[in-house]
Amino acid sequence: MAERARQIVEAARELLEKEGADALTMRRIADRLGIRAPSLYKHFPDKQAVELELIAQGLQEQAEALMAATEDEQPLVALGAAYRAYALAHPHLYRLMTAGPLPRHLLPDGLEARAALPLVRIVPDEHRARALWAFAHGMVILELDGRFPPDADLDGAWRVGLAAFAQVAAR
C-alpha cells in the first residue's frame, strides 16, 4: 500500500474511533489530510474499500490480543477478558468489524481463520467454540449498546457465563 493510502486509512481510523461511524465520511477523511474528498478516489475506488482496510486492521489486532490470552494459565478467563477489553477499547471499530455480513472474499487470505484461531485453540469442539463466541459477542454488544440495566454487574455475568463453558469442557 502506498504512503498516501496509508495516511487515508490512518485518518479514517482516527475519525471512526473518536467520533463513530457517522463521522466516517469521505469529506471528513479528506479534511483531516487537508485535501478534498474527490482526491481520495485516486487512492481508493470507493468508501467500502477504506472501510475494508479498517476491518482487516481490527481483525488482525484482535487476533493478536486474543492469541496472547491463550498463553494464560486460565486461558478461558483470559480470553473472555481480552475479548471484552478489545471491544470496549475500540467500540466503533468493533461495531464496524461485526455488523452485517463479513465481506469474506475481499479480506486478506486467511485473516478470518487467523481471527478465529485463539478460540479454536482453547476450545477445540466447534459447537462449544461457536456458543462461546456468541456469548462473548452478545455480552459485548449489549454492553456497548447500553442494553443492560445501568447498575448491572457485568463482571458477574461474564464470570458465570465463562464458568458454564468451562464446565462443559470438563464433562
Partner DNA sequence: GTCTATATTATGATAGAC
Partner DNA sequence: GTCTATCATAATATAGAC
Taking the complex as a whole, the smallest distance from the CB of residue 60 to DNA amounts, in Å, to 24
From CA 13, how far away is CA 65, in angstroms rounded? 18
Q: Could you tell me if 57 and 9 are in contact, meaning their C-beta atoms sit under 8 angstroms apart?
A: yes
27 binds DNA (CB under 7 A): yes
- Check if the beta carbon of residue 66 is closer than 8 Å to that of residue 83: yes
Minimum CB distance to DNA, residue 45 (Å) = 7
Q: Which does 152 bind (CB under 5 to 8 A by kind): DNA, a copy of itself, none?
A: a copy of itself
> Min. distance of Cβ 150 from a copy of itself in angstroms?
10
Beta strands in the chain (DSSP E): none
Which residues are CB-contacts of 123 (< 8 A; sequence separation ≥ 6)?
76, 129, 132, 165, 169
* Residue 40 grid cell: 481520495
Q: Which of 19, 46, 125, 155 binds DNA (CB under 7 A)?
A: 46
- Out of 32, 47, 84, 121, point to the residue binding DNA (CB under 7 A): 47
Query: Which residues 6+ apart lie within 8 Å of 57 measured at CB?
Result: 9, 13
Taking the least distance from each CB to DNA, the nearer of 33 and 116 is 33
Q: Answer with the entry of DNA, a copy of itself, none that 36 interacts with (C-beta below 5 to 8 A by kind).
A: DNA
Interface with DNA (CB under 7 A), residue total: 20
Query: Distance between the two ends of the chain, CA-based, in angstroms?
Result: 49
Minimum distance from residue 42 beta carbon to DNA (Å): 4
User: Grid coordinates representing 163?
Assistant: 464458568
- The CA distance from 30 to 48, in Å, is 15
Task: Using CB under 8 A, list all residues that contact a copy of itself.
Answer: 98-102, 125-128, 130-139, 141-142, 145-148, 152-154, 156-161, 163-165, 167-168, 171
Interface residues toward DNA, by CB under 7 A = 2, 4, 24-28, 30, 34-39, 41-43, 46-48
